[in-house]
Amino acid sequence: MAAVETPLQPDWLTADVFSALGDRPVLLVDAAAWRRPEVAVQSVVVGLDAAGVLPAIDPAGFDILITSAAGAPAPWVSVAQARFADHAARLEHAVRQSPMAATVLCRVLRLAERLPFEEALHVESLAYSTLLGGGEFERWLAQRGPPAPVPVAGGPLVAVERHGDRVEITLDHPASRNALTAAMRDALCEALANALDDPSAPEVLLKGAGRCFSSGGDIGEFGTARDLALAHVVRTLRSPALLLDQLGPRATVRLHGACIGSGLEVPAAAHRRLATADAWFQLPELAMGLIPGAGGTVSVARAIGRHRTAWLVLSGQRIGAGLARDWGLIDEIVG
């Protein structure tokens, strides 16, 4: 699709065209020329700055902004000139493959930035449960086939140690790459809640054992929830991201290796985020017909903004520790 250089003027009768129901779920537009239409549209709006001039624009009119300018400031994402057109086409393809999830993602991100942390988590969870019952996720489940079983843990999934005025909490199932199963999530919530309730108000350090912090949710558990309303309630009551946010300046996370899906969404809620140079970050949920469901539309977006969060999800790309630090996803690269 070529960039749209003039403002679109849809009317209310034809607004469905610019949604997951129509043939325009995504719009690639010239960022400098685009003017947000008066009629509400649900298309994912990707603003393009192929020339790298960084035009003065109102970010509110866009869901993603990409530019060929190197080291561009927020909310822009820098893409090398040589692969700019291909990258824009890939974003368009991703939306067209999962238009429901993509358009819901961008609406949730817009809502979340206006809400307090806890209320924004509820909006995300409601949307996530809705998509769990949708056709795009059903299609992914059929394509996935039977998942490989997660290795059985030989001990507690989460280790807790007290060192003076600091509590160290470790995701401790290296054989599964610290997959955040429901059991690990519940154990992590218990550890965080105990620290939050402790009248001595200890500092909290969250880290992962083994080769990486966490590879995210256990693929084998995806699609096992039958009562999606109940799943929403459980998700909001047992939210490690909410507990980390509530800990405020007391919470620090140390990240290394892969931080995928919920393995990024949860630690992004911590007040201070450290990472080793080998850390990398990815939000791959769109390919499953889903959006982040462990708090990422809130925690990640509050760290790097909704435009770059939308880009992470829609592109599915990994970013390394250096870019994560430049964007504010982590505070410091440590040894």
Kindly state the average pLDDT of the residues 41-57. Answer: 96
CA distance 172 to 138: 31
Domain-embedded: residue 124:
yes
Q: Residue 308: its pLDDT value, please?
A: 98
Please check the confidence at residue 1 and state whether its pLDDT lies above 50.
Answer: no
- From 7-16, 61-70, 100-109, 117-126, the region with the lowest mean pLDDT: 7-16
Domain-embedded: residue 287:
yes
Please check the confidence at residue 48 and state whether its pLDDT lies above 60.
Answer: yes
Domain-embedded: residue 107:
no
Residue 4, classed as helix, strand or coil, is strand
215 touches 259 (CB < 8 A): no
Sign of CA pseudo-dihedral 269, 270, 273, 275: negative
Q: Residue 36: its pLDDT value, please?
A: 84
Place of tokens 């509590």: 167
* pLDDT confidence bin for 66, thresholds 50/70/90: very high
- From 2-16, 29-43, 168-182, the region with the lowest mean pLDDT: 2-16
Mean pLDDT of the chain: 94
Q: Residue 145: its pLDDT value, please?
A: 82
Given 97, 129, 162, which residue is the final one in a domain? 97
Residue 89, classed as helix, strand or coil, is helix
Domain-embedded: residue 274:
yes
CA distance 241 to 326: 22
- pLDDT above 90 covers a percentage of the chain that reads 87
Considering the domain architecture, whether residues 244 and 308 belong to the same structural domain is answered as yes
Interstrand relation of 26-30 and 44-49 (parallel, antiparallel or unpaired) = parallel
193 touches 254 (CB < 8 A): no
26 touches 102 (CB < 8 A): yes
Domain-embedded: residue 201:
yes
CA 330 to chain centre: 14
Please check the confidence at residue 5 and state whether its pLDDT lies above 50.
Answer: no
Omega cis (within 30) before 75:
yes
Tell me how many degrees the CA angle 57-318-53 measures, rounded to the nearest 5: 25
Domain that holds residue 89: 12-97
Q: Residue 38: its pLDDT value, please?
A: 81
Considering the domain architecture, whether residues 179 and 301 belong to the same structural domain is answered as yes
Summarised one tens digit per residue, pLDDT across range 82-129 is 999 999 999 999 999 999 999 999 999 999 999 999 999 999 999 999
Summarised one tens digit per residue, pLDDT across range 186-221 is 999 999 999 999 999 999 999 999 999 999 998 888
Q: At what angle do helices 240-247 and 296-304 cross, to 10 degrees?
A: 40
- Structure tokens belonging to residue 267: 């630690």
Considering the domain architecture, whether residues 165 and 78 belong to the same structural domain is answered as no
Kindly state the average pLDDT of the residues 309-322. Answer: 98
Tell me how many degrees the CA angle 90-128-65 measures, rounded to the nearest 5: 35
Q: Which residue pairs, CB below 8 angstroms and at least 24 apart, start in 46-55?
A: 46/88, 46/91, 46/92, 48/3, 48/84, 48/88, 49/76, 50/3, 50/81, 50/84, 50/85, 52/81, 55/31
Considering the domain architecture, whether residues 271 and 153 belong to the same structural domain is answered as yes
Considering the domain architecture, whether residues 211 and 141 belong to the same structural domain is answered as yes
Sign of CA pseudo-dihedral 226, 227, 232, 234: negative
Given 97, 126, 151, which residue is the final one in a domain? 97
- From 38-52, 198-212, 296-310, the region with the lowest mean pLDDT: 38-52
Q: Residue 149: its pLDDT value, please?
A: 75
Residue 69, classed as helix, strand or coil, is coil
